[in-house]
Amino acid sequence: MRPNIIVFSTPTCSWCKKLKEYLKKHGQYFKDIDVSKDLAAQRDMIRKTGQQGVPQLWINGVAVVGFDRDKINRLLNIEINHKEIQND
């Protein structure tokens, strides 16, 4: 079963862009929400995490604040080899 991934981002956020590229690289499908335009989603994001910064993502309802690669890999069962770490 495919994980439910929601990314909260803004168009000017460089880490948001890196996060989405990382998810795509690993074949993960996600819904991207621009919180600079969707204020209801922005309120939900802040209510869940207490944080206003982006990127944030929810993986099967579990919040990840920032591009926390280790937590994302753990939640999505992404295995990384050392060569890949050097190239990211």
Mean pLDDT to the nearest integer, 18-38: 97
- DSSP label at 50? S
How many whole angstroms separate alpha carbon 22 and alpha carbon 26? 6
pLDDT of 51 reads: 96
How many whole angstroms separate alpha carbon 88 and alpha carbon 85? 5
- Amino acid, res. 80: I
Q: Give residue limits of the domains in the chain.
A: 5-87
pTM: 0.88
Residue 7 binned pLDDT confidence (cut-offs 50, 70, 90): very high
Is 88 a residue whose pLDDT tops 60?
no
Instruction: Name the E strands within the chain.
Output: 5-9, 31-34, 56-59, 62-65
Fold of 5-87: Glutaredoxin (3.40.30)
The predicted-structure confidence for 47-56, as pLDDT tens digits, reads as follows: 999 999 999 9
Find the DSSP H helices in the chain.
14-25, 39-49, 69-76, 82-87
